[in-house]
Amino acid sequence: MTIIQQGDRVRVHYTSKSLEGSVIETSRHRDPLEFTAGADDVISGLSDGVIGMAVGESRELTVSSELAFGRHNPDLIQSTPLSLLPEDLQAGDQLTATVDGIGLDVWVQRVGEGEAVIDANHPLSGETLVLEVEIVSFDAMHR
């Protein structure tokens, strides 16, 4: 039986859940997710977690925040004057900010009088995730 090694191109179906069991996202109703095992195409807990698996195999991976979307960093939260932001801004909106020429996704935590609180942490930062992963197929690279 051939197993996935680092650098193989992998296609998986997955369901991500919170530790409490709430479903965050699933690929079951669309094409499988494709990425390179051991690379940084996806979170490292998934990318590294499929190494050693075979086609048809399923596994549940518990992925710490460090191997998912990182720890929550309070330094990435700041108040911004509404005059610098789009009109009709609401809590939960996602924006792209440009910092030193690089696009950065940010989320609006709350909108107040004259300012909004913007958070550059990923919404799942600080969270441990449970991933149910099924290997659909893979291409063994460089063997």
**Mean pLDDT estimate for the chain:** 93
Cβ atoms of 12 and 50 within 8 Å: the answer is yes
pLDDT at 106: 93
Kindly indicate the confidence band of residue 5, based on its pLDDT and cuts at 50, 70 and 90. very high
- One domain, residues 23 and 92: no
What amino acid is encoded at 116 in this protein? A
Number of domains composing the chain: 2
DSSP-derived pairing of the beta strands 115-119 and 102-111: antiparallel
Domain of 99, CATH number, reads 2.40.10.330
* Number of Cβ within a 10 Å radius of residue 129: 22
Span 57-81, average pLDDT: 95
Identify the H or E element spanning 49. helix 44-49
54 domain-assigned? yes
